[in-house]
Amino acid sequence: MTESVAPTPHPDLKIISSRVYRGPNIWHYEPAIQLVVDLGVLEDFPTNRLPGFAEALLERLPGLMNHTCSRGRRGGFAERLYEGTWVGHVAEHVALQLQQTVGHDMRRGKTRQVKGERDRYNVIYAYYDESVGLAAGELAVRLVNHLIIPDPAFDFDEALEQFIVRGERTAFGPSTQAIVEEAVSRDIPYLRLNTASLVQLGQGVHQKRIRATMTSQTPSVAVDIASNKELTLSLLSAAGLPVPRSQSVRTLEDAVRLANRIGYPVVLKPLDGNHGRGVMLDLRNDAEVRRAFDVAKSESRGGLVIVETFVTGRDYRCLVVDGKIAAIAERVPAHVTGDGVLTINQLVAKTNADPRRGVGHEKVLTRIKIDKAAIDLVATQGFGMDDVPPEGKMIKLTLTGNMSTGGISIDRTFEAHPENIEIAEEAARVVGLDIAGIDFIAPDITQPVRETGGGICEVNAAPGFRMHTHPTIGDPQYVAKPVVDMLFPPGTPSRIPIIAVTGTNGKTTTSRMIAHIFKGIGKKVGMTSTDGVVIDERLVIRSDASGPRSAKMVLQNPRVDFAVFEVARGGILREGLGYQRNDVGVVLNVRPDHLGLRGVDTLEQLADVKAVIVEAVPRNGFAVLNADDPLVRAMRRRCSGRIVWFTMAEPGSDIRDSVDDHCRRGGLALVLEHSDLGDMIMIKEGRRSMQLAWTHLLPATFGGRATMNVQNAMAAAAGAFAAGASLHDIRQGLRSFSTNYYLAPGRLNEVDVEGRTVIIDYCHNVPGMIMLGDFVDKTGDALESTNDLGRISRIGVISTAGDRRNEDMRELGAEAARHFDVLIVREDSNLRARAPGEVAEMVAGGARQAMAGGARCKQVEIVLEELASVRHAMSRSNAGDLVVICVEQHAAVMAYLESYGHQAQPGARPAVDRDFSNAVPDPDSH
């Protein structure tokens, strides 16, 4: 039954926001773009209610007929168009198809309604180049609106042409693209380092760099030699290789004299030119030399011009990679062939209409350019541009066979004589290039040039691959393969091990523990955390560095051979992960924090965000999961690799029984075994049980009182063991790691200040306060048991970030009131859109409400400024008391405590090379 046609709505599909995910993300494990679009009244108008829309769209973009959509077959999307789908979904497919028009074969996408909003949708689609992907989304929305009600100011063909030009401008050149594609096919990661052709292949210490066809192994002296054509020919001649006679000159008269001395015909070319620019061939008298001299000199940066004998024959390019011939192509200058009907201008236009021809290197062939030199060359052949040449007559339009000037190539790789191959390979060795383009002029490459005449006229650094990968005639040669073989010989690693750590609380300490373990093994560890980027234990960037850009910074560092990344919720939501996959993903916990921010309103949604690093674990990798947390436990279903559990559950509990069953089936887990001597961390794998360490002997656990660090140590040990560390190295690393200010600034640092026990920590949420409160209870009891006066005061300085929910702020105060005698509530320097004092009143209100219910706390005070609150806490305390300071700017607080009465212990002194005075950790990304 056909639906009645509704009135055509006013097109108001709008992009509300856009986001670029540069790695695995909440939508997909590959990079993606997210557009939040508002359909407006179009929410009530699926495509089957828009007369003529489907037909007009398919006419403009016929490639959409190939889209399978959810039907899984060609034409599936077209079926959806006619049956009725929403225009947000249409924009997704159009954005993908537009990218395909510029050669970006992107096919992944999805469109989902924004939860709780009727007319807003998340449009997700893959991209290859970020700017092209965003432009595709914008153009897709404009086209959809235009097809509903035409916009006179919008010309789709013109907009599409501009879009294509943008894609061509940002794309890799054909040579770089060939190498990158070969690397990707071998699972070698790459990073584009600029907007041109500088690319890093591999990670960290294993990285190599390319710029077009120059590599990080290309000697600079060899490039300099190849750039000096006179020196190049001199060295080749000295090595006994066939080269034409040549010499450089600076003036026109010298060029004429030299041409007469070596004999006509001659060639003039710039000393340091490239791509055939300024090369003047077959000059047969003084007059031609005089006319050609200025052209050649204009392309010479140093003003020197080479005069050499003109060698007759065909133009061949021999590509040598790592000392071996990779491909040979015959280059034919740009030309047209007469048909007895069309003029030369018309023949050029017909040739340029070939879809394989484009501007510059955008396509496999370059359009022929008609300039004065071309017109003059045609004139020397007895024709004008408006003349009709006879059928079969070849009209040259350039003298050189460069692809960049419109020439074509014929593959001759398997036709060359072995002696000619040896000459080309020797020429590359003499110059010293790892990748070299050897230009031969010879009557026939199948015959030895020493017998037939001819020789090497040029050696090129950074030779183009286009003539070999896309020959006009003949089979393509996969010349990128020997390049990647040279950079990464078989069996050579290209990736460094990556351990990613996430969770609501404990990420930073666990990351530091893992980094400390592998530093002890001798690794050069690159680590990111909320304190900054650390390379081999030296802080190089002071900032909140738990996001994807910091991860890329580590992977670009050529010293790093092991990476440990603290992965925060905020970074995943902003840009996704900063890498393709992690060998080990560690998830500590999922607790109520950051709820109500960036569309994450429930714990289940927060768990989906954290699970991204589990989804980024490859089949040969490991996910280290907290079995005690049901949301973390459920992440096992998202992992492609092996699961490693860690649990503090008692033997005999359901969780422990499940973990033990996992081990009996060959799995790996870390558990606690209780005895009269204490708690022992055990590694269980299959039927084996291995003792790792007593928890009370690990400095970071404060004799076992810091339960949160017992759990962190178990997670760190599990991650390290999964990454290949030995039992001995893990044990040694945990035994030597402590929470002093040198190793863990701002994380449970203990310092003695005139008899007071002062703890500095970064606790800022309710789950963290629960664990910190447990530590305060145990530590306070231990201090009282050794205090001659008995009871001591437990004083806390607390705060939270202004973007937390009101109920979370009140609950933080209430939880703190259960553990402290005196609470001093302060505020962060960044109020996050809150009024001064608003956050403190919320927290204090929760504490006072708990006091009314019988909580331990007896007094709550508000001192807004951080250092002022610390000074007040210290003035309220006496020798023997326990003071816990939840800090924002830990360096400033430590500096104050160090100066307090000049009695602070040396362990609290900040190291000179770890000055965090400018570091303000951002709770939003923790």
For every residue of 581-620, DSSP letters joined together read: --SEEEE----S-STTBTTB-SHHHHHHHHTHHHHT--TT
Instruction: Provide the Cα torsion 208, 213, 214, 216; round to 10°.
Output: 10
Q: Report the candidate in 390, 386, 463 with the shortest Cα–Cα distance to residue 431.
A: 463
Strand locations in 616-738 (E): 622-626, 642-646, 668-675, 678-685, 688-694
DSSP conformational letter for 440: E
- Tokens 């286009």, residue? 466
Q: Rounded distance, CA 734 to CA 680, Å? A: 13
Pairing state of beta strands 14-21 and 32-38? Answer: antiparallel
Exposed, middle or buried: residue 790 (CB in 10 Å: 0-12, 13-18, 19+)?
exposed
Token duo for residue 186? 């071998």
Q: Which of 895, 889, 893 lies closest to 911, judged by CA?
A: 895
Return the pLDDT at 7. 57
For 875, other C-beta atoms within 10 Å of its C-beta total: 7
Q: What is the pLDDT of residue 593?
A: 83
How many CB atoms neighbour CB 240 within 10 A? 11
Per-residue model confidence (pLDDT) at position 312:
83
Could you give the CA distance from residue 412 to residue 401 in angstroms, rounded to a whole number? 15
Backbone angles phi, psi at 20, to 5 degrees: -110, 120
CA 704 to CA 727: how far, in whole Å?
Answer: 21
Residue among 313, 319, 311, 298 at smallest CA distance from 246: 311
Tell me the DSSP string of 239-298. TT-----EEEESSHHHHHHHHHHH-SSEEEEETT--TTTT-EEEE-SHHHHHHHHHHHHH
Question: H or E stretch including 373?
Answer: helix 372-380
Structure tokens, 385: 């541009």
566: β partners: 501
3-state secondary structure of 340: coil
CA nearest neighbour of 711 among 766, 758, 652, 771: 771
Among residues 144, 125, 137, the alpha carbon closest in space to that of 54 is found at: 144
Beta strands in 697-766 (DSSP E): 749-753, 756-761
Placement of tokens 């001591």 in the chain? 792
Mean pLDDT by 10 residues, the chain (926 residues): 52 90 92 95 92 94 94 92 95 96 91 90 95 96 94 92 88 91 96 92 97 95 92 94 88 90 88 75 88 88 86 92 96 90 92 81 78 87 91 87 83 96 97 96 93 90 92 94 96 96 94 96 94 91 84 95 94 91 97 83 93 96 97 96 96 95 96 93 94 96 95 98 97 94 88 93 93 95 82 94 92 96 94 92 96 94 95 93 94 90 43 35 37
Q: Tell me, what's the pLDDT at 35?
A: 96
Q: In what order do the strands lie in the sheet with 324-332?
A: 408-411, 324-332, 314-321, 435-442, 455-461
Residue entry with tokens 């999964």: 722
Separate counts of helices (H) and strands (E) for the chain: 30, 38
CA distance 436 to 459: 7
pLDDT at 907: 41
CB atoms within 10 A of CB 69: 19
pLDDT reported for residue 276: 66
Q: Under DSSP, is residue 26 helix (H, G, I), strand (E, B) or coil?
A: coil
Amino acid at 108: R
